[in-house]
Amino acid sequence: MAQIFSWIEKFAGYGFNRSHAVAYSLISYRLAYVKAHFPRVFHVVTSEKTTELVRLLRKDQIPVYPPDVLHGHADATLEGPGVRLGLKAVQGLTKRDVDRLIELNGQLKDVRTLQEAMEWKNKDQLKLRRLLGAGALDRMYHGDRTHAFEAVERLREEAGTHFLPDELSSLGQKKKKVKEPNWSEEEREALGTWVVHSPLTALPDIGIEPSTIEEVMNGTNGYLVVYVDDVRTFITKKQERMGVLIVDDGMTQDEVVVFPRTFAQFGRSLYAGNILLLEVHSNERDGRKQLIVERVRPLHGQALFIRLTLDRFPELEDWIQRAQGDVPVVCRFTDSKEVKQLASAFSINPNEEYVAEAKRRFGEENVVLKRIDTKMVGPETSTKS
């Protein structure tokens, strides 16, 4: 008996580790097989976060569909050749909301029946807006998100005025048209990532085949088309400004470094929310690879048009100094009938807050931010200073 116990005691020193290793080897083998032959299943099962799941699916060129209130599920599911995100991915919804929406599968006709069935009040309007932004109402309105937006706005207006549209008309009041939101921003707020309305897919031909962040990291240099998530600036020992950008190429989010010389040359384009073409090269420092920016080209394709009188130009200059960026400003002077594009030093950051301030100053109808043909308007055309 003592001999048997000594064998067991000796085996205990390595027996568990060996069995553990065998079990993990078997699991790893099976997962590798699933990943190779059933990538959709693998990504859905192993990805905990929506952003991670969407990036992996895009990397494997698998279609991603938004959540759906008509036939939705709590978690991501396989659908056709792609994957449909679950209702749990919509930020702001509680577990009770998700469970109730699943119970109502196939019973909802429009946003009004949705709001009534969910017993949502005015304080729950944000939940409806998140469903709209996530694309969860798209199928309810035959894929037309604008139509869904108009339906949600009608509900909101009725809740605020207590009058129906035809009643407002009978009172001689016109319904104010609400500007359609930026769907890429709405989608990111609702899901944490883009699914349908990515700002990186609605760009003009740039004449260059861009790489991905991962490809440049594994190579030497290349071009990246990225969305700027954040900008951190630093002052060097020589009292020069440099920066680190958090950028997203649609598949990967990573940092890129902008050294002082490049920062001084392209600093106006380095702000959160901008879309840039970056020429970069990889560099290894302290055993870690990083991307270094060499040149920057903005791809937003926008211009700000302002109508004003000549005597108000100093006021415009004052506003521009606090809203510096890379979007060109085109002025129409109503008294002299001149139309001039300002010098690149007078380009602005199209931040919503800045544009809203301009509209308050010069009148909402006199300030328009819109996409343009970049060949028509550039920073080096005739200017007024």
pTM for this model (two decimals): 0.77
Q: Is the pLDDT of residue 377 over 60?
A: no
Asked if residues 76 and 53 have their Cβ atoms less than 8 Å apart, the reply is yes
Please state the separation of Cα 71 from the chain's center in Å: 25
Q: Can you give 251-316 as a three-state secondary structure string? A: CCEEEEEECHHHHHHHHHHCCCCCEEEEEEEEEEECCEEEEEEEEEEECCCEEEEEEECHHHHHHH
| CA distance to 69, 70, 118, per residue, from 104 (Å) | 8, 8, 9
**Same domain for 353 and 252:** no
Neighbours of 220 (CB within 10 A): 9
Task: Answer yes or no: is 383 within a domain.
Answer: no
Residues 216-237, mean pLDDT to the nearest whole number: 91
Q: Strand pairing of 324-327 and 348-348? A: antiparallel
Task: Tell me what percent of the residues of the chain surpass a pLDDT of 70.
Answer: 90
Task: Answer yes or no: is 196 within a domain.
Answer: no
What is the pLDDT of the chain when averaged over all its residues?
86
Q: pLDDT tens, 351-372?
A: 888 999 999 999 999 999 988 7
**Same domain for 169 and 114:** yes
Q: Is the pLDDT of residue 382 over 60?
A: no
- In this structure, what token pair is assigned to residue 333? 């002077």
**Same domain for 62 and 186:** yes
Task: Answer yes or no: is 45 within a domain.
Answer: no
Task: Answer yes or no: is 380 within a domain.
Answer: no
**Same domain for 182 and 54:** yes
Q: Can you give 106-146 as a three-state secondary structure string? A: CCCCCHHHHHHHHCCCHHHHHHHHHHHHHCCCCHHHCCCHH
Cα of first residue to Cα of last residue in the chain, in angstroms, is 100
Structural domain total, the chain: 4
Q: pLDDT tens, 253-271?
A: 999 999 999 999 999 999 9
**Same domain for 285 and 339:** no
**Same domain for 158 and 222:** no
Q: Which structural domain range is residue 360 located in?
A: 302-371
What three-state secondary structure class fits 331?
Answer: strand
Task: Answer yes or no: is 258 within a domain.
Answer: yes
- In this structure, what token pair is assigned to residue 243? 């920066």
Neighbours of 87 (CB within 10 A): 23
Between residues 172 and 22, which one has the greater pLDDT?
22
**Same domain for 117 and 161:** yes
Cα separation, 384 vs 16, in Å, equals: 79
